[in-house]
A and B are shown apart, each in its own frame.
Chain A
Amino acid sequence: MTGRRTGAGPVPDTWIVFDGEEVPAVAGEPVSASLLAAGVRTVCLGIRTGRPRGVVGIGTGEPGAQVRTGGPDPRPMAPATRVEAREGLRVSGLAGYGRLPEQAPARRGDARWAHCDVLVVGAGPAGLAAADAARAEGARVIIADEAPEPGGGARGNGRDAWAAATWQALAEAPDVRALARTTVTGHYDHGEHAALERRGRSDLLWRIRARRTVLATGSTERPFAFQDDDLPGVMLAEAAAAYVRRHGVLPGERAVVAGCHDGALWAAAALHDGGARIEAAADARPRVGAAAREALRRRGIEVRPGTSVVRAEAGADGGVAAALLVPVGTARGEPDRVPCDLLAVSGGHDPAAPLAVQAGARLHWSAAHAAFLPGGLPPTTVCVGAAAGTRDPEAAVEEGIAAGAAAARAALGPPAVPPDPVHTAPQGPLAGAPGGGLPDVMRSRGASAQGHGGEGNGGGESAPLDLWSGPDEPTGPAATATEDVAPPMALFSVTGPGTDAGRVYVDLQRDAALSDIRAAVDAGMDSIELIKRHTTIGTGPDQGRTCATVASGITAHLLGRTMDEVGGTTPRPPYAPVPFTALAGRARGELIDPLRRTPMQSWHEAHGAVYEDVGQWRRARYYPQGDEDMHAAVLRECAAARTGIAALDASTLGKIIVAGRDAGVFLDRLYTGNLSTLKPGRCRYGLLCTADGMVLDDGVIARLPDGAYLVSTTSGNAETVLDHMEEWSQTEWPELCVHVFNATDAWAVVSLVGPRSRDVMRRLAPGMDVSQEAFRFMDLREGEVAGVRARVLRVSFTGELTFEVNVPSWYGLAVWEAAMDAGADLGITPYGTETMHVLRAEKGFIVVGHETDGSVTPLDLGMDWALSRTKDFVGKRSLSRPDTARGDRPQLVGLLPEDPGTVLAEGAQLIGEAPGTGPPRARSQGWVTSSYDSAALGRSFALGLLRSGRARHGEVVHAVHLDTAVPVRVADPVFYDREGSRKDG
């Protein structure tokens, strides 16, 4: 056992199950703490190498310990540092990849939208201070932090009570929302942020629109790379110390600490105070901060300056058993082997800048901070605290107060306030960094670089030890700080003569090593973005939180470039993994898209209808009787419509009212035909085109007795047509007094079809004269049908005598049932969309979306007769463009398979010659748009678009689908009742 509880923290009050073993735990602590306390070193295995991996850090950016949790709230993949312990929680290490739970995830997601004046990201000292200051100015504030408790990186450093009290006060303040366990995952345009809040068994996806944003996102401790740096027991030094301070968990008994900044030394002191024996405290810098040095000296620990770790050594359990220490910069003698069970390393701190970069910041290397700092933020965003390089909590609080108050004042100021100079740059945080003309770290380093033995850049001769770092004495204000504090050193990797570069792991989550970067550079890659993609470094679930800067540093060294020249990779959203269940929210199952049902749905249901989704509509496709299949049912339904009486629920037909003084003029300008001359009580067919001459929709336009127009549209196209009408009326012809509105759902439509439909109408509407003389084709009548006020249209989409009965949708079911009763003795047959399509196709009637696809003009369809020659309409001019007027465009044709029993596949391509007989690479000449078997024709038939098709009637072409080619004869598209005699019954 290597780890234990120090006794200073809370006593375990519950247990979890890790890989089948019970592990005592403190409820609410991160599972990583429970595992460390129980001496569990190996948590999971490397994704490619299968090498054992343990807990490395604390917080979200954990590169090592990935787990999945079971039970009622399964998570396929999560860092052990972000899973909170609770009784009986089942945790197992991930063997490489996450695996989705077998059953549908119980985890629920939901979405919430919020607006605020000031959004503060991060609840460390700077963030808490900023939120409090903004609140005091009267701003509406949202503060979010990904941890369960406030405090940020300063947690456990004696400020916890202040942090908790401030958080509590914020949470209780009006107009402030304090969100714990909430990760702001992205910064988007115009102050929009996405945030993921983890709440028990559900996730809440926030969309927060903020006038001003204060980024107090803190920093991430980074390691440096050396051989076998992935062994369990190799941890980040400050993270190890944080386990002691925050959770009373000592990750190891015998520790070697290796760093390159004072923070690592203070971590050594904390580990000592927690009960660990510090076997060595190595610091790569020649001179360390006096305060930290003295603090360690008082504990009997002598810092070893100019020393670092070149290799970790594994013990019997696969975890670290010793550290090999070497003097840096030169090779002198054998490495010093120091036995240990905890190797705590720290390479510095990277400001957590992804949100800042997404907001528009640019990163620049600060030698004084040995880190990339964000700069050049837009006026609406400011970066404070450790996120801006300010590591001193007192200074961070001061920055937070100033930034929070200024952000609130800017947000609350007059709307058109010019950018407030206070916000143009995060001046406070960057005060310590030299602006511009930054020291040329890597170049100066490269100039004096000792060769680094191995296949890389060559030049390695005598001095075999290679320390890839910045200059030993950084310049800039920080360097002139008091003797108490020494500036950090940029240290990315330590290798020696015998180092195996394939085991110097840079990205633990991707098992990507120094050798991979070398290979990428040797292959000629000189962009960090390319190297990222080639090596996969930074593409793991932690998005390279701890390894990105190390990869940039190593790359800079290999290329002999500066850190600024190499830069970092683009941190795109999301900042942390977002479960798909959270993105889906409530849009699951039935709620994924609205489902529209007609008022007659329950009748269709009761009569065994098979459904088809048409847009958002659920429509009856056919009504099988007994063990009929679709083919048999459709033939029967078609026969009823052609020879007797059949009924279609046509409620889904789009219905748009166009009213107003200039409605007729308006429709004249949009539709291809003349509609202003339409008399009340009459109907006319029309085509609607876009300005480029392509068919957008078609339908019958009826003139109501009061003068308004009732425009019918293709099912599912009403919204498109309505939008089209509103656009033209508002933006082009505002002088016209026109009102359009969608009445689709207000009316149910019972379409009575067939030679006997007049008989049924007589029974249903005794008060209405439905004789051929009084109620002609294309007439509209208002009257009572089945006791309900109705509009009846004599239009036909089948070629047969048809009465389209429109009633307020409330009465749809009653009128439908009345029609079924009235026609029962005549054998009235309900039919669905499949039969409707067969009947209309037999007549050569097009369906928008079948015969048209946005590239088909009325001329292509042979519908010249529908075009007015006397007036302009939208799209008319386009019909005489060279491309639309050419003769070899695909044109609507009928297609009769040579074998009358073969039903062509819709979408089949049409070619001229049979395969194998024509040119080796046959060019498509068109395609099949609709294809059915026909009871009336006693054979199969199809419609299609064929190049120059109208001139090719009688020709045989071939319809190719998958591996078969079917010979088909080109024909006129009207197959049935070409003279149109049946429409009057």
Chain B
Amino acid sequence: MLLIPCPWCGPRDEREFRYGGQAHIAYPADPSALGDEAWADYLFMRDNPAGRHAERWFHGSGCRAWCDVERDTVDYTVTGSCTTGAHPAGGPDTGPCTSPYCVRRAVPSTGGTR
């Protein structure tokens, strides 16, 4: 089992994570504008390098945050990890969140690793 450096929790056992495939495959801004081939490319085609690979991991049995991990697929060396997609401070200017459930005010800005 790998030892995966969760940017929030530190190094944790692979058993606490779920694999999320290749990182940096963004959901297309306008899927309907894509042809069949381009859409199939988004859905199904992934890199399969022998070497460094940026991939997503979900710390489901831990902090439940997704993170990006760079791992060598040959010797499994993990060269780094970073947070992905937690709430950026601010967000788009659509007004303050008034939901009584919102805990956002308690969440520090992202980007920090500890």
Contact = CB atoms under 8 A, between A and B. Distances in A.
Interface string B73-114: 001101000001111100110111111111110000000000
A661 B97 contact: yes
A737 B42 CA distance: 26
B45 interface: no
Interface in B34-72: 34, 36, 39-40, 42-43, 56, 58, 60, 64-66
B84 A660 contact: no
Contact residue range for chain A? 35 or more
A737 B104 contact: yes
B9 interface: no
A335 interface: no
Interface string A878-916: 100110000000000000000000000000000000000
Nearest to B20: A727
A730 B31 contact: no
Contacts of A727: 20, 58, 66
6 tightest A-B CB contacts, nearest first:
A659-B101, A877-B31, A661-B97, A734-B85, A190-B3, A730-B85
Nearest to B97: A661
Contact of B36 (A732, A872, A882): A882
A192 B99 contact: no
18 contacts: A657-B101, A659-B100, A659-B102, A708-B99, A708-B100, A708-B101, A723-B18, A727-B58, A731-B84, A732-B26, A732-B27, A734-B86, A735-B88, A737-B91, A739-B99, A739-B102, A876-B32, A878-B43
A191 B66 CA distance: 24
A965 B76 CA distance: 53
A190 B32 contact: no
Contacts of A737: 87, 91, 97, 99, 102, 104
A739 B103 contact: yes
Nearest to A657: B101
Interface residues of B, number: 45
Nearest to A661: B97
A726 B1 contact: no
Contacts of B104: 660, 737, 739
**Interface residue SS majority, chain B:** loop
Question: Among the interface residues A360, A661, A691, A692, which one has the most CB atoms of the partner chain B within 10 A?
Answer: A661
B29 to A, nearest CB: 10
Contacts of A736: 91
A747 to B, nearest CB: 15
A661 B102 contact: yes
A727 to B, nearest CB: 7
A734 B31 contact: no
Nearest to B110: A734
Contacts of B88: 734-735
A732 B31 contact: no
A730 B31 CA distance: 19
Interface string B6-43: 00000001100010100000110011101010011011
Nearest to A881: B36
Contacts of A190: 1-3, 76, 78
Interface string A127-139: 0000000000000
A723 B58 contact: yes
Interface in A710-769: 723, 726-727, 729-732, 734-737, 739
B23 to A, nearest CB: 9
B43 A739 contact: no
B85 A731 contact: yes
Contacts of A663: 99
Contacts of B18: 723
Given A189-B1, A723-B60, A876-B31, A707 B99 contact: yes
Given A726-B64, A739-B103, 6 more contacts: A190-B3, A190-B76, A660-B97, A660-B104, A661-B96, A876-B31
Most A Cβ at <10 Å: residue of B14, B84, B97: B97
A755 to B, nearest CB: 37
B39 to A, nearest CB: 5
A188 interface: yes
